[in-house]
Amino acid sequence: MTLAGDDATWSARFWTGNDEPAWAESVRVASPEFRICWNNDLRPAPHPTASQVRTVSSWGDATQAFIARTRVLVVGVGSVGLDVAQRLAATGIETIGVMDFDTVEALNLDRMIGATRLDAALHRRKTDVAVRLMESAATADNFTAVVHDLKITEPDGLRSALEYDIIFSCVDRPWPRAVLNQIAYADLIPVIDGGVAIVTFDDGRLRSSIWRAHTLVPGRPCMVCNGQLDLAQVRLDQNGHLDDPAYIARSGKESPSSQNVAALSAGASAALLAQFVSLLAHPGGLGAPGPLRFFLSTHHLEHVPASSGKYCPYEAETARADERHNLATAEGTKAQRGDSTTTPPAPGLEEAARLEQALAEAINGLS
């Protein structure tokens, strides 16, 4: 690796024999002031498009060229992830991956903005909906959506995730969150995590809502150290106990909460996206903040007083990907996948889907 004197840009190359070296496309500098040094020959900076004038005037050509080339993966495209994916595409990012194996159901429609009744009736994959919405929103000339119909807890899912520069964690299960927590440190890929929780009174009325956002990167505490990942819950999830109502009842533990309100999940996606902008654009010269949480009842935003634990097993694996304690296993391939029953769609639905596809192609073809 070489550090250029003029603009402090890293370049890297490696030799596999006596031939010419292979040049690295980019070098990531993983810290709260995250940087990527691009090899402009291998991955040239895109020219800003007419749709990006206001974006570029907000942070300049150099930042746009940096952000647009960054490969971003969104793991989980439910209420928060779907919103995040669309806004990343509109910002001009050229390559966005989405990872989810779930399908759209009618009960998702109160919070997955952009998913339609037709999507639910056809049980379309959430990733297909995400791709359609990202392609509609994208402002880059060469936008590429990559679908990973995988779980981050399976070896293929983990391998796919390692191809990205930044990952959004928009999943709420402990096991996938543990895998993402590990990637942030062992593989030096920043992970932006967070979500929204609803708190109710015993009589069912709304007591408060709390949304959190934090960037997991060396120099900032991991999910365990900031109190957002319970190692005991990870073990229960790996053993399938969190889906076992009898076990939950016997143990007195709480099953994962499923409450969600579309009007509030936008707060969580905004908080995650603000972390993304701080990590990449360094507003005011500052990088990613420490963990944040917002209380809806009092409208109070606070910095969570968390720091890295001295013996944290995740942060102890920083930059030691090859020696990782493997959390993505064959069991993760099967776990939590429902039985997919494929019933053919009603004839009217097929016709509606054909018309929808034709309309989308016509709109995307407009210059």
Amino acid at 4: A
3-state secondary structure of 216: strand
Q: Are 118 and 356 in contact (CB under 8 A)?
A: yes
- Exactly one of 85, 178, 192, 222 binds Zn ion (CB under 5 A); that residue is 222
Q: H helices within 187-253, ranges in order?
A: 231-238, 245-251
Q: What is the DSSP letter of 255?
A: P
Residue 56 or 312: which CB sits closer to Zn ion? 312
Structural Rg of the chain based on CA atoms: 21
Handedness of CA 52, 53, 56, 61 (dihedral sign): positive
Contact segment (CB under 5 A) with Zn ion among 96-104, 161-169, 220-228, 274-282 equals 220-228
Per the structure block, which two tokens stand in for 355? 């018309």
Contact segment (CB under 5 A) with Zn ion among 64-72, 172-180, 278-286, 308-316 equals 308-316
Q: How far is the CB of 227 from Zn ion (least distance, A)?
A: 10
3-state secondary structure of 211: strand
Q: How far is the CB of 309 from Zn ion (least distance, A)?
A: 5
Q: How far is the CB of 234 from Zn ion (least distance, A)?
A: 13
Contact segment (CB under 5 A) with Zn ion among 4-12, 41-49, 77-85, 224-232 equals 224-232
**Residue for token pair 């000339």:** 141
Residue 140 or 223: which CB sits closer to Zn ion? 223
Angle between helices 79-91 and 126-137 (to 10 degrees): 30
Contact segment (CB under 5 A) with Zn ion among 94-102, 123-131, 153-161, 225-233 equals 225-233
Q: Cβ contacts of residue 6 below 8 Å, gap of 6+?
A: none
Contact segment (CB under 5 A) with Zn ion among 108-116, 130-138, 295-303, 311-319 equals 311-319
Per the structure block, which two tokens stand in for 110? 């109160």
Q: How far is the CB of 181 from Zn ion (least distance, A)?
A: 8
**Using the rule CB under 5 A, is 315 a contact of Zn ion?**
yes
Q: How far is the CB of 112 from Zn ion (least distance, A)?
A: 32
Per the structure block, which two tokens stand in for 338? 């429902």
Q: How far is the CB of 340 from Zn ion (least distance, A)?
A: 36
Residue 70 or 228: which CB sits closer to Zn ion? 228
Q: How far is the CB of 161 from Zn ion (least distance, A)?
A: 19
**Using the rule CB under 5 A, is 180 a contact of Zn ion?**
no
Residue 72 or 222: which CB sits closer to Zn ion? 222
Q: How far is the CB of 289 from Zn ion (least distance, A)?
A: 17
Residue 55 or 182: which CB sits closer to Zn ion? 182
Q: Taking Cα atoms as reference points, which of 264, 94, 278 lies closest to residue 190?
A: 278
Q: How far is the C-alpha of 331 from the C-alpha of 311, rounded, in Å?
A: 28
Residue 211 or 314: which CB sits closer to Zn ion? 314
Q: For the chain, what is the total number of helices (H) and then of strands (E)?
A: 11, 14
**Using the rule CB under 5 A, is 225 a contact of Zn ion?**
yes
Interface with Zn ion (CB under 5 A), residue total 6
Q: Taking Cα atoms as reference points, which of 365, 178, 145 lies closest to residue 357?
A: 365
**Using the rule CB under 5 A, is 158 a contact of Zn ion?**
no
Residue 26 or 308: which CB sits closer to Zn ion? 308
Contact segment (CB under 5 A) with Zn ion among 88-96, 123-131, 294-302, 313-321 equals 313-321
- Exactly one of 188, 261, 312, 352 binds Zn ion (CB under 5 A); that residue is 312
b/e burial code for range 76-115 (CB count within 10 A of at least 16 → b): bbbbbbbbbbbbbbbbbbbbbbbbbbbbbeeebeebbebb
Q: Are 166 and 70 in contact (CB under 8 A)?
A: yes
Residue 130 or 217: which CB sits closer to Zn ion? 217
Q: How far is the CB of 313 from Zn ion (least distance, A)?
A: 8
298 φ/ψ angles, rounded to the nearest 5 degrees: -105, 0
Q: How far is the C-alpha of 329 from the C-alpha of 215, rounded, in Å?
A: 25
Residue 119 or 315: which CB sits closer to Zn ion? 315
Residue 132 or 177: which CB sits closer to Zn ion? 177
What are the residues binding Zn ion (CB under 5 A)?
Answer: 222, 224-225, 312, 314-315
